[in-house]
Amino acid sequence: MTRGFPTLFRKEVMRFWKVSFQTVAAPVLSALLFLVIFSHALASRVEAYPGVGYTQFLVPGLAMMAMLQNAFANSSSSLIQSKVTGNVVFMLLAPLTPGDLFAAYLLASVVRAAVVGAGVILAVALLVPLPLPNPLWLAAFAFTGTGILGALGIVAGIWAEKFDQLAAFQNFVIMPLTFLAGVFYSVDSLPPFWQAASHANPFFYAVDGFRYAFFGRSDVSPWASLAIASAAFCALSWLTLRLLRAGYKLRH
């Protein structure tokens, strides 16, 4: 990596941190509202895992959902803003390799997602008793899950030419896939068709594995989930680097 990487990485981190009330506090509040509403409506009717209350079951899923959505939002919004305002040309002229650009945008997205996830878990821990998570599984699925969405955000930011296109990508792709990733339910409780559909969703493996880090239980083996999530991350990383090297929709 060149010396420009830490500068771009710091710029991307400071970009979201300067408006942390919007980029961090708002997602934490949204997750808490989901927790209050769903736990109040379903806590007495649903037991996803034996011995695990539904409110407890919700917490890791909501934390990971917030992390995924914010990882995507960070990289995609930064790129589309640079393209719309025209300052993307300055990044292309700077001594930055495609690997530098990819790593800076991706790692900044992971940092934002980690801050949001920690905020959700810490805020909820004051209300809901949670077991201490396995730190290795927690870190593995947090990084791979947010890495997938960070890379996907770069792809979306490169592809989109205006904010409307990016909003459509987020509303019709990212939002449904995160909501249908087993955040609010155990996939094993679904009919066969929807179980198969869930298993085709790479976001599901990030949520399921992240939940395993807390309860030691999951719908799929954590090793299988980690392998699938890692494969999706590697494939998206390869695609993103190809697009950056080609200058697709960045160089006109």
Could you state, in order of their start, the residue ranges of all structural domains in the chain? 52-246
Q: Would you say the C-alpha torsion 192, 195, 199, 205 has a positive or negative sign?
A: negative
Written as tens digits, the pLDDT of the chain (252 aa) is 667 789 999 999 999 999 999 999 999 999 999 988 887 766 556 666 777 788 888 999 999 999 999 999 999 999 999 988 888 777 777 788 999 999 999 999 999 999 999 999 999 988 888 888 899 999 999 999 999 999 999 999 999 999 999 999 999 999 999 988 988 888 888 888 888 888 999 999 999 999 999 999 989 999 999 999 999 999 999 999 999 999 888 875
Confidence (pTM): 0.93
> Helix 98-125 vs helix 222-246: angle between axes, to the nearest 10 degrees?
140
